[in-house]
Amino acid sequence: MPMTYEQHLDEVTTLLYEHYDQSEEAAIKLVMAAQADDFFSGHDDDPSICTLERAQADARAVFRKYAKTQEQQP
């Protein structure tokens, strides 16, 4: 069942917090970095892809791609 775009981002943030040992603040920063990089632009264009399964895949991808760059920032 599709979620709204905002619900999807919230779910990705929650998954980063719960499954990837990120603080709430760090999880939010990762999602914000991904948004700034247009990672979620397709989701905004096609809300039907905003599913729980996609949120799980997106959380993995966001963590892999953005966690290291966040660690390098002061």
Question: pLDDT tens, 10-49?
Answer: 999 999 999 999 999 999 999 999 999 999 988 878 889 9
Query: Does position 74 have pLDDT exceeding 60, yes or no?
Result: no
Tell me the C-alpha distance between 66 and 34, whole Å. 7
Query: Does position 70 have pLDDT exceeding 80, yes or no?
Result: no
